[in-house]
Amino acid sequence: MKIELLYFEGCPNHEPAMNILREAFESSGLQGRIDEVQIRNQSEAEATGFVGSPTIRINGSDIEPWARTATVFGLSCRTYVHGSQHSGVPSRKLLRDAIREAIREGR
């Protein structure tokens, strides 16, 4: 399983997202590494389909289904929605669900 965390330098949510991602990954009983990919400019954002920092992908697919079809990319902060709450990091539930989906689909 390939896990990536894409971010831009100075993103205040990069480390908190990495901590939550590690926790979700380990609690799922999986082993492996999480690749951190720094996006440095608009060209890289467009080339990688970067919808904001932090972005987490499992086997190339964003953990949020809407982002898989996004067409606007750039160096911006990302917001994750948890019910009526907005946060700069994904919820543990979103991460666990995305990991289970990847396992189920053999990604």
Which CATH fold topology does 3-104 show? Glutaredoxin (3.40.30)
Residue 8: partners with Cβ closer than 8 Å, 6 or more residues away: 38, 39, 40, 53, 75
Single-letter amino acid, residue 79: T
Cα distances from 17 to residues 33, 67, 69, 85, in angstroms, run: 15, 17, 22, 16
Domain boundaries, the chain: 3-104
Query: Is residue 78 over pLDDT 90?
Result: yes
- pLDDT-derived band of residue 33, with 50, 70 and 90 as boundaries? confident
- Which residue matches tokens 């689909």? 105
The DSSP line for 27-41 is HTT--S-EEEEE--S
> For the whole model, what pTM was predicted?
0.92
Task: Characterize 34-59 residue by residue with b for buried, 16 or more Cβ atoms within 10 angstroms of its Cβ, and e for exposed.
Answer: eeeeebeeeebbeeebbbbbbbbbbe
Single-letter amino acid, residue 84: S
- Residue 4's nearest CA partner among 89, 61, 85 is 61
Query: Is residue 97 over pLDDT 70?
Result: yes
Query: Is residue 8 over pLDDT 70?
Result: yes
